Amino acid sequence: IVAEVGQTDKSAVEVLHSLTENELWVAHNVWGYSEDKEGNIIELKVIENGKTELFPGPDYRYRMQNNDTMLHYYHSTETKLGAVYYTRPYEVQIDGNNIKLTAYHYSVDKIWYSKCWEILAYDENQIIIKSTNVYQEPMYDYKGNIITSDETYLYSLIQLVRYDNFADGKWKDAITEEEFYELKNK
């Protein structure tokens, strides 16, 4: 996929900012890499060609607000109101083609965590990212219990593509993650 990325005169940050009013950056491919106790590398195809068969998520939809904030958009059906779009704002620190994203997670843990994006390749319509976590965000089962694993997370490779008219613009009315958890816990 990296070999298929075109050319652009814009910086990675300029490309992240270049969305029109109705566009988002959406994951077309996501691969997760971990290591088991024997040192074997395990590849997990989380999203392949825009489809996931693992679970109803995950949500990899982003929109750069300014050089200080990136919004991560989620879609959830876990409230009494049904389907809800909500956002998690990330504080952004830019160092060349590397971006550190830090957010407060309002889930069970209510903690701060960071992930680092190394931009491997990009053009006007796609961005290839190697994502590593400073803090590994916990994964929960449907009952809210932390899922444990014998594997050590290494990194994810993410192919974001420019996506127009996502969900008929409903994402524009997304609530905050804090508001979502208040609705969910009512």
Rounded Cα gap, residues 163 and 74, in angstroms = 15
- When mean pLDDT is compared across 2-6, 95-99, 140-144, the lowest value belongs to 140-144
Query: Nearest 10 degrees: CA dihedral of 7, 44, 104, 92?
Result: -10
Query: Does residue 56 surpass a pLDDT of 60?
Result: no
Tens of pLDDT, residues 64-78: 988 789 998 887 776
Could you give the 3-state DSSP secondary structure of residue 179?
helix
CB 130 within 8 A of CB 117: yes
Q: Which residues contact 53 (CB under 8 A, 6 or more apart)?
A: none
How would you classify the pairing of strands 152-164 and 23-35?
Answer: antiparallel
H-type alpha helices, 18-148:
none
At 53, the pLDDT band (50, 70, 90 cuts) reads: low
Kindly provide the b/e burial profile for residues 20-54, where b requires at least 16 CB atoms within 10 angstroms of the residue's own CB.
eeeebbbbbbbbbebeeeeeeeeeeebbeeeeeee
For β-strands 111-122 and 126-133, DSSP reports them as antiparallel
* pLDDT reported for residue 39: 93
- Looking at residues 36-51, what average pLDDT do you find? 89
Whole-number pLDDT of residue 108: 57
